[in-house]
Structure 1
């Protein structure tokens, strides 16, 4: 399991040092972002939805604790404090941090803290997966639900209400039949694997569609698919024969 982390520290050298240590000694942790202040971190956490924060405490105008207060109620991540000051241990415990590391960072203490984070995050994700699996047991195919992780919550959406998904780098846009649209920090490949058994098909490197929501297949202009929501979806050359065969039954 690879977990996503953000490094939050107002000292670039400290972030660079921690990033190097994680790369060398903690292969289960991917650094997906860095921030030099609590204000910058607030935006980044909401955008990237990380599993883990490596968080400094004293960062000028707003502290690491101030950041956590700003995120109260939306917190779906774990915290490891990394600081040069040793007087904040009790506050760190009250903030439910996984660990409290002092600079300069001790490698054994770092790997120990990361191991605890991996265990806790893994358990949390497995519990979520089991909860959703159990809730799906008595549902029909179109009523099966998937979890959509948003910045402030996890929303459960009926698979049958999804019209299509579109990739944007490491993010995915999810379009529903009622016009709602979500942007999720998971790749289209992740959703393709998840939704394949629900009759979703990959028409293109950037597009995954619900086969039941196809309105028409247009053969001109190289071929494209019109969906029930009037969106026009390209069909790659490699996928054309496969999709035509599926459409023709």
Structure 2
């Protein structure tokens, strides 16, 4: 991990640096800055994991650091100061810890340990957010089907139709295979509501329009799918379906 020490007193910076080197082997790099402005410049260039920040400094207080990072702080702050009256303000800024000079080695090690735990948690959250983003992109073209032995990720174009089976749903795939999913048909109707290729032509069927070969009219209209499956079209859906067909194809 990388550490930055911001303190106007050179002696205090060196003392803290020596304590870290002696007692905290996980810290691999230590840098120093003598005021807030130069410290902020180093933060933006070196991206430290932990910033040890003095509060009482000439020109600017360490508490003003948030003004330089209004959107996001991706480092952990540990305040180190000779004055304890700022503790409440420091913790309002979500500081990891607040250490008083002269420094206690055990308190220093505990503060660094807290920072390490927070960094690990932040990294995990970042990975989870990236996974969420990737899966959302995947869901644009694929659907997750919960099968008995796991989850089947299937492309929308590989689904012929969904057929209700009580509280279950049978999913017919273009490969000829059928999967039974432990969710009702309305689950998939809602999930694919924004996908214009899927049409609920009957209370028991949600079809992929890509695989409709023929609309057969007669005593009970039905759709002939590419696998020769006959799927009924309910009276309430028939006019809507014909309207869309005429609008697009005729």
Which of the five TM-score ranges fits, normalised by the shorter chain?
Answer: 0.5 to 0.7
2:106 to 92, 102, 108: 108
Matching of residue 74 in structure 1 with residue 72 in structure 2: yes
Partner Cα separation in structure 2 for residue 39 and residue 61 of structure 1: 9
Encode CA deviations 1:18-66: one digit per residue, 9 max, x unaligned.
1111111112223342110011111111111122110000110011012
Q: Residue 16 of structure 1 corresponds to which residue in structure 2? A: 14
The corresponding residue for 2:46 is 48
Q: What's the Cα RMSD here?
A: 1.7
Q: Which moved more, 1:125-134 or 1:34-43?
A: 125-134
Report the counterpart of residue 28 of structure 1 in structure 2: 26
Indicate if the aligned counterparts of 1:99 and 1:113 stay in contact, CA closer than 8 A: yes
| TM-score scaled by length of structure 1 | 0.52
Q: Which runs of 4+ in 1 moved over 4 A?
A: 137-140
Question: Which residue does 1:246 correspond to in 2?
Answer: none
Gaps of 5+ in 2: 139-250
Check 1:74–1:137 CA distance in 2 against 1; reply closer, same or farther (3 A cut): closer
The higher-RCO structure (CA 8 Å, 6+ apart) is: 1
- Tell me the secondary structure at the aligned position of residue 117 of structure 1: helix
Q: For this pair of structures, how many residues does the alignment match? A: 138
Give the distance between the partners of 1:112 and 1:6, measured in 2 at CA: 17
Partners of 1:135 and 1:96 in 2: how far apart? Answer: 27
Question: Match for residue 64 of structure 1?
Answer: 62
Deviations 1:113-146 (A, max 9, x none): 1111000011101221232234335768xxxxxx
1:7 and 1:31 in contact (8 A); partners too = no
Output one character per residue of 1:230-249: Cα deviation in whole Å (capped at 9) or x when no partner: xxxxxxxxxxxxxxxxxxxx
Is the CA contact (8 Å cut-off) linking 1:19 and 1:31 kept in structure 2?
no
Q: Distance in 2 between matches of 1:24 and 1:136?
A: 42
- 1:42–1:71 CA contact under 8 A, matched in 2: no
